[in-house]
């Protein structure tokens, strides 16, 4: 077995058409496959995870328009989009790397008592105008107002409970042992709770970065990499004073998270996931863009989360 496992969490920019709508973009998929190939050449076994927020929202909207009762089953929508995005990623990875790639429909355990169920915060789907927002609200869905580029828009929000365990962990480990690239925990995993000695799906969407960090820790991965739209984490992001943060210790990351220095639903969960992983495994984690990953692995780009600066 290859002991060096890298878990790579793909942000939307790694797979989506930049014109919006949640449509996959073939050139971005190809670049993602090349990124996986470079990690394979570095001697890593690779697990790829991915988000699905836009795709879940678009799928739910289509089901609502035709009156399907499936629209209210977020667990099943996550499963559907795991298959959709996973198959496209796997096709690209196989074609580029000539390595076998397996998609695992992954369930992630959450607590039925998680307070997130009574306080939906995770945005899904596209930005909505006021009329579209009102239409969703009339259907009993929860919509929150946002300000984007100086204009008022709306977006549906859903419960996002904390991930506790990965049901298919042993299967994923076995597939890695025999040399496969594995795509798992798509969209944060299908949310399930324990019930009657087994599991049952619940109405939520788990944050993919937190689920990915949990998977990396459970696998004992030597590297956890979060790929996003920016080259490094920025202090004062979007302001004239913004500047990249090349390195954060776990305690520094936790302090900044507690102070609310990073945007909820965007950079905050990425940093939280990396800090949790690094705290558990003592291994570094990296946040960067796909384009700068090679440099980030050499310490020349990105943001690296480390144990403690004094150690």
Q: Is 180 a catalytic residue?
A: no
Structure tokens, 287 = 């946040």
Contact indicator for 202, 191 with CB cutoff of 8 Å: yes
pTM: 0.91
3-state helix, strand, coil in the chain (%, to 5): 40, 25, 35
Catalytic residue among 92, 180, 208, 302: 208
Beta bridge partners of 9: 49, 226
Q: Is 13 a catalytic residue?
A: yes
CATH code reported for the domain at 5-227: 3.40.1160.10
Distance (Å, whole) CA 142 – CA 205: 14
Catalytic residue among 86, 122, 186, 187: 122
**Residue-level pLDDT, tens digit, the chain, 311 residues:** 457 999 999 986 567 665 655 566 777 788 889 999 999 999 999 999 999 888 888 899 899 889 898 988 999 999 999 999 999 999 999 999 999 999 999 999 999 999 999 999 888 888 888 888 898 888 888 998 887 777 888 988 999 999 999 999 999 999 999 999 999 999 999 999 999 999 999 999 999 999 999 999 999 999 999 999 889 999 888 788 889 999 999 999 999 999 999 888 789 999 999 999 999 999 999 999 988 999 999 999 999 999 976 54
DSSP H helical segments within 123-198, as ranges? 130-138, 169-177
Q: Is 299 a catalytic residue?
A: no
Q: Is 270 a catalytic residue?
A: yes
DSSP state of 116: G
- Considering the chain, tell me which residue range(s) the CATH 3.40.1160.10 domain(s) occupy: 5-227
Beta strand residue intervals within 56-112, DSSP E: 101-103, 107-109
């Amino acid at each position: 077995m290859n002991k060096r496992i890298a878990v790579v969490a793909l942000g939307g920019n790694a797979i989506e058409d930049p014109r919006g709508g949640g449509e996959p973009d073939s050139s971005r998929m190809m670049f993602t496959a090349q990124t996986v190939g470079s990690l394979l050449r570095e001697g890593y076994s690779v697990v790829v995870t991915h988000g699905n927020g836009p795709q879940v929202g678009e799928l739910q909207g289509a089901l609502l328009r035709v009156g399907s009762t499936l629209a209210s089953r977020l667990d099943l929508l996550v499963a559907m989009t795991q298959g959709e995005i996973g198959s496209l990623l796997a096709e690209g990875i196989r074609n580029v790397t000539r390595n076998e790639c397996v998609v695992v429909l992954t369930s992630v355990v959450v607590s039925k008592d998680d307070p997130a169920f009574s306080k939906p915060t995770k945005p899904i789907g596209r930005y909505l105008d006021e009329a579209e927002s009102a239409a969703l609200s009339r259907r009993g869905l929860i919509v929150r107002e946002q300000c984007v580029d100086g204009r008022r828009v709306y977006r549906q929000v859903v419960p996002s409970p904390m991930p506790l365990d990965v049901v298919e962990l042993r299967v994923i480990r076995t597939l890695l042992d025999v040399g496969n690239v594995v795509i798992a925990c798509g969209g944060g995993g299908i949310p399930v709770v324990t019930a009657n000695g087994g599991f049952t799906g619940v109405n939520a969407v788990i944050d993919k970065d937190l689920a990915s960090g949990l998977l990396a820790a459970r696998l004992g991965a030597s590297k956890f990499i979060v790929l996003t739209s920016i080259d490094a984490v920025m202090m004062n992001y979007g302001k004239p004073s913004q500047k990249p943060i090349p390195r954060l210790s776990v305690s520094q990351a936790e302090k900044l998270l507690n102070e609310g220095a990073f945007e909820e639903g965007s950079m905050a969960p990425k940093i939280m996931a990396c800090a949790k992983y690094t705290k558990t495994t003592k291994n570094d984690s990296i946040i960067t863009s796909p384009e700068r990953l090679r440099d980030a692995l050499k310490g020349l780009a990105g943001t690296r989360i480390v144990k403690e600066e004094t150690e």
